[in-house]
Amino acid sequence: MNDIVAYLVTFERLMTAYEVPENRWAFKLAPQLSGRAQQAYAVLNGEAASSYLEVKEAILGQYNVNEETYRQRFRMASMKTEETTRELRVRIEDLAKKWTKDCDTVDKLQGCDCAGTVHQYRPSRCPGVGAGAQPKH
């Protein structure tokens, strides 16, 4: 899972750096795909195959990468061997952002079942999450 996510992040950064229009990204990505990612692309219809966001969603779906994946990794996070506390913090914050990507406002965050956990781990670094944000029960 980490490899495909890292690959897509790198791909997006390169496309942005080289100022490739986003409507061309799917066509640039397709020839680079192999294995499960290529299978996910192959089953898309023509219109979906030309949309990078739909291609990315299909690929991540093939690898079962979704908010639940990030929630589980966030909740099970612990310091790895030879990992610094800063690296752990960055990893936890990254997982929390990916898990709560749809919780971009205080109102939305209060409706997410993740709010209490994010607040617990990140009380001073989670914008808009204050004492009033409670997990959904």
Residues in the chain: 137
C-beta of residue 122 within 8 angstroms of C-beta of residue 129: yes
Mean pLDDT of 33-58: 96
Residue-by-residue DSSP string for 47-58: HHHT-HHHHHHH
Give the integer Cα–Cα distance in Å for 3 and 135. Answer: 31
Q: Look at 103 and 72; give whichever has higher pLDDT.
A: 72
Give the integer Cα–Cα distance in Å for 133 and 69. Answer: 23
Q: What tokens appear for 37 in the block? A: 């990612």
Q: What tokens appear for 27 in the block? A: 């066509």
SS3 129: coil
Q: Which residue do the tokens 């986003």 mark? A: 22
Q: What tokens appear for 17 in the block? A: 């750096």
pLDDT above 70: percentage of residues in the chain:
72
Task: Read off the pTM.
Answer: 0.64
Q: What tokens appear for 67 in the block? A: 């908010």
SS3 1: coil
What's the pLDDT tens digit per position in 113-131? 554 544 444 434 444 444 4
Of 21-35, 51-65, 78-92, give the lowest mean pLDDT range: 78-92
C-beta of residue 122 within 8 angstroms of C-beta of residue 96: yes
pLDDT exceeds 70 at position 26: yes
